[in-house]
């Protein structure tokens, strides 16, 4: 690891920077094969998926476009309630498009369930999910996540886009928040 200052609440590293980069390249290759000959629309869920998106799209060789959506889910700092509000909607319609939602982490699954319903109602040609991380132990709803980077234990994760109180998104690896 570099000499970067490590913040106080950092617990153990859950996914190293090398493992992240290797897995993102694998996902990019898999997506490139699956969508060969079709033009993909990547929908990045702000803000957590920004780092993942930027690495993933460089690993995708098929033509692709990108759009952004921001959602807020009511709840505590570490638990979402499933009541989701769209803070920023897509710039363009998605009817007839091959859509892949790029998410940072699937926890309860409630945010993604809401997104799948909301985007599914806009008549895309296809609608799938690529999530960097998943916490299966926390899942409350069953969701078809076509591409998943890593399954992690039931710990609150920070880094590589994931925040705790808007901090730590810039860490190049994923770590657990200390003492949780």
| Binding residues among 67-106 for ligand IMP as defined by CB under 6 A | 73, 80, 103-106
* Residues touching ligand IMP, count (CB under 6 A): 16
Radius of gyration of the chain (CA): 16
Beta strands 98-106 and 40-46, pairing class? parallel
* CB atoms near residue 125 (< 10 Å): 12
107 is catalytic: yes
- Set 104, 107, 142, 163: catalytic member: 107
Alpha-carbon span 95 to 113, nearest angstrom? 19
Tell me which of 48, 109, 124, 161 binds Mg ion, using CB under 5 A: 48
Fill in the per-residue mask, 113 to 152: x = in contact with ligand IMP (CB under 6 A), - = not in contact: ----------------------------------------
**Residue 107 interaction partner, one of Mg ion, ligand IMP, none, beta carbon < 5-8 Å per kind:** ligand IMP
Alpha-carbon span 148 to 168, nearest angstrom? 22
Q: Give the residue from 11, 42, 60, 57 showing the smallest Cα distance to 162.
A: 11
Cis geometry, peptide bond prior to residue 122 (ω within 30 degrees of 0): no
Measured from the CB atom, the residue of 48 and 109 that comes closer to Mg ion is: 48
Q: Which parts of this chain interact with Mg ion (CB under 5 A)? A: 48
Q: Which parts of this chain interact with ligand IMP (CB under 6 A)? A: 48, 73, 80, 103-112, 156-157, 162
């Amino acid at each position: 690891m570099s000499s970067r200052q490590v913040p106080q609440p950092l617990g153990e590293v859950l996914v190293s920077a090398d493992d992240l980069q290797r897995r993102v390249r694998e996902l990019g290759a898999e997506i490139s094969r699956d969508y060969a000959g079709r033009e993909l629309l990547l929908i990045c869920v702000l803000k957590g998926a920004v780092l993942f998106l930027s690495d993933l799209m460089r690993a995708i060789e098929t033509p692709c476009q990108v759009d952004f959506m921001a959602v807020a889910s009511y709840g505590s700092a570490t638990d979402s309630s499933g009541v989701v509000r769209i803070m920023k909607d897509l710039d363009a319609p998605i009817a007839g498009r091959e859509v892949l939602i790029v998410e940072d982490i699937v926890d309860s699954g409630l945010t993604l369930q809401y997104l799948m319903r909301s985007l599914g109602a806009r008549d895309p040609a296809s609608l799938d999910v690529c999530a960097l991380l998943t916490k299966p132990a926390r899942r409350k709803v069953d969701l078809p996540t076509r591409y998943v980077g890593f399954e992690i234990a039931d710990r609150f994760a920070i880094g590589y886009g994931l925040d705790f109180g808007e901090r730590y998104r810039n860490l190049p690896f994923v770590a657990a928040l200390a003492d949780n």
